[in-house]
Amino acid sequence: MSDLATTIRQLVAGNRILANEGIVDAMGHISARHPDNPKRYLLSWARSPGLVEAEDIMEFELDGTPVKDNGKPIYIERPIHGAIYEARPEVMSVIHNHCYEILPFAITRTPMRPAVHNARRIGENVPVWEIRDKFGDTDLLVTTMDQGRDLASVLRANKAALMRGHGCAVTGLTIPDAVQTAISMKINARAILQGMQLGEICYLTPGEINAKQAGAASLKGFDRSWDYLCRKAGIAP
Ligand code: MN
């Protein structure tokens, strides 16, 4: 299978997994950088992620222009994807979601910090992008490249950024990497929210977050988590 076919297959799986894991609902999206052309990315037309099939995947320029306009409606928040690919050459996948468990961290000043071991991957810092700082009162959607670039400038080199009053943007070096990070953010958020009912949260230290991983997540090309998530979502890994 060509790189492009493999990427599309993984992108469809990523859509289904994010829906199945409750990271996205009717809204939210995941894209992948084009494997043969770093100046383009792949993204479904404006379908709900749980319904996305291979033939729904379209190609876009980094500025959000569809390479072939097939008349289908397209996601309005494409600039989140294009601006992050533009600013971060190493990023190969971007997710935008409004995951319910993550929203409390996007509407308060309580920072999102790793508290459970599998959330080490989200890193020490999850910055919060405030759209109001530069754009005043808006409908909070990221609809222009100026807004997308402003978000990317706050994300900087971090794995994810919260978007105040809205949701978050998550990056990955691969599609499974981005999907796992989005899932870890949800698990971490839920654990913190529930933990707060019992007492003070004991967050991971920077040393714990950055400690070398003892067990390998991916062995001999087999990714245990991806295999599990695909089967749970009802698709072939
Ligand atoms: Mn949104």
CATH classification at residue 34? 3.40.225.10
Tens of pLDDT along 145-164? 999 999 999 999 999 999 99
**pLDDT number for residue 219:** 57
Tens of pLDDT along 55-67? 999 999 999 999 9
Buried b (16+ CB within 10 A) or exposed e, 168-177: bbbbbebbbb
Ligand 1 centroid – CA 103 distance (Å): 12
Domain that holds residue 90: 3-232
Element (H, E) at 15: helix 3-20
**pLDDT number for residue 59:** 98
Tens of pLDDT along 197-225? 999 999 999 999 999 877 655 556 678 99
Ligand 1 centroid – CA 143 distance (Å): 10
Name the one residue in this structure whose structure tokens are 């991983």. 213
Q: Is residue 66 part of a domain?
A: yes
Which residues are the active-site residues? Answer: 77
Ligand 1 centroid – CA 207 distance (Å): 33
Q: Is residue 187 part of a domain?
A: yes
Q: Is residue 62 part of a domain?
A: yes
**pLDDT number for residue 6:** 96
Q: Is residue 237 part of a domain?
A: no
Give the pLDDT mean for 122-132.
97
Structurally, how many domains does the chain consist of? Answer: 1
pLDDT greater than 70 at residue 237: yes
Q: Which residues does 224 contact at the CB level (< 8 Å), separation at least 6? A: 217, 218
- Whole-number Å distance between alpha carbons of 149 and 83: 5
The per-residue pLDDT of the chain, averaged, comes to 96
Buried b (16+ CB within 10 A) or exposed e, 204-224: beeeebeeeeeeeeeeeeebe
Ligand 1 centroid – CA 77 distance (Å): 7
